[in-house]
Amino acid sequence: MATILIVDDDRPIRSTLKEILEFEKFKVDDAEDGEIAVQKITKTNYDLVLCDIKMPKMDGIEVLQKIQELKPEIPVVMISGHGDIETAVGAIKQGAFDFIAKPLDLNRLLVTVRNALDRNELVEETKELRKKVYKSKLNDIIGESAPIMDVKNMINKVAPTDARVLITGGNGTGKELVARNLHQNSPRKKMPFIEVNCAAIPTELIESELFGHEKGAFTSAVKQKKGKFEQAEGGTIFLDEIGDMSASAQAKVLRALQENKISRVGGEKDIKVNVRVLAATNKDLKQEIANNNFREDLYHRLSVILIHVPSLNDRIDDIPLLVDFFLPKICAEQGMPEKRISLEAMRSLQDCNWTGNIRELRNVVERLIILGGNEISVDDINKYVRVN
């Protein structure tokens, strides 16, 4: 049952509204002025506030502003006299859900109340869904072994800061997942997370991809284009496989980190950028520096914090947790009944050499779901999994 607060200095109007809304099975409270209303709002969770504009001590606009500060999720419907319509429209611009003109029309009142409550319900449902999605993203780092707990603890410490992070580890260990968790746990989480796979972009295009280009900068530049740094403004840019970046692009990234400025290809104007930079590589960058393939000054700019993601072979105790996570998820994706795995089969998976890490394990689980029996057995493992 929704709880509604009526705020009006006119007692007959309060009484009439209360009688109507209680007849419609709403729980109703009232306040004779804005100050009392604000006190009640701080102590009680209301689903809707009906608020008059013209009141002594504190008028309706001030009440609206206080609600916006204290509990912005509560929809507020303003009650206005004919001379207050312009003020009521201004209130909507300040965040009020709607306004009802006096004398009150019963049908209009009930429609507005239900619309406001429906909207509030949708907002709450959206919040819950976002919480679930957010929680599922964070919980995607599956594992309780000491090496993976070290990674999780590092994320918790580093994420709230703006420190640059260099994430290392083999292919398929989950470096991108670590980067996304750093962003999702940061103050920048509502801003863009832009990922760039430096190994997948041709050398001649990497600068244009990162920093954008001006029209006519090269043959195919038929219009101006913003690069990934500009697209990530206020958020996070994740430079994956940064060990494969060209020398010229490295120089420009270094300047961006030093000066928080970039320039588009073919452009002369400096553009200020505010981004957090995360980078990842499966290469030994110190060896790359020794081989003159990577700039030492860029390495030190990127590696304020180092997070190493362990290989699956270094965290075999997490394999049962990972398999239990993948089984229902993949079965749902494939439209198949959920399958189980025997204890012996699970032990057999722990004995494998996982050169492809978690990515390989997921592929193997998917193969076993498709090709194996209702309960995945050791025979299925021996038949469909190559043990290195």
Q: How much is the pLDDT for 376?
A: 95
Q: How much is the pLDDT for 129?
A: 62
Q: How much is the pLDDT for 102?
A: 82
Structure tokens belonging to residue 2? 């929704």
User: How far is 140 from 106, CA to CA, in rounded Å?
Assistant: 51
Q: What is the DSSP string of 180-211?
A: HHHHHTSTTTTS-EEEEETTTS-HHHHHHHHH
Does the pTM of the predicted model rise above 0.75? no
Q: How much is the pLDDT for 328?
A: 92
Cβ neighbours of residue 200 closer than 8 Å, sequence gap 6 or more: 241
User: How far is 112 from 120, CA to CA, in rounded Å?
Assistant: 12
Domains, the chain, with CATH or none: 3-130 (3.40.50.2300), 158-310 (3.40.50.300), 313-384 (1.10.8.60)
> Hunting for tokens 């209680």 — which residue is that?
22
Q: How much is the pLDDT for 130?
A: 56
Q: Kindly provide the b/e burial profile for residues 289-306, where b requires at least 16 CB atoms within 10 angstroms of the residue's own CB.
A: beeeebbeebbebbbebe
Structure tokens belonging to residue 144? 């309780």
Report how far apart the first and last C-alpha atoms of the chain are (Å, whole number).
Answer: 62
Of all residues in the chain, what percent are helix, strand and coil, respectively (each to 5)? Answer: 50, 15, 35
Structure tokens belonging to residue 271? 């553009």
Alpha-carbon 93 to chain mean position? 28
* DSSP SS3 for 387: coil
User: How far is 107 from 93, CA to CA, in rounded Å?
Assistant: 24
Print pLDDT tens along the chain (388 aa): 789 999 998 899 899 999 999 999 899 999 999 999 999 998 888 999 999 988 888 888 899 999 988 888 899 998 887 656 677 778 888 888 988 888 888 888 899 999 888 887 777 666 666 555 544 444 478 999 999 999 999 999 999 999 999 999 999 999 999 999 999 999 999 999 999 998 888 877 888 889 888 888 877 777 888 889 999 999 999 999 999 988 888 988 998 899 888 888 888 888 899 999 999 999 999 999 999 999 999 999 999 999 999 999 999 999 999 999 999 999 998 999 999 999 999 999 999 999 999 999 999 999 999 999 889 999 999 999 865 4
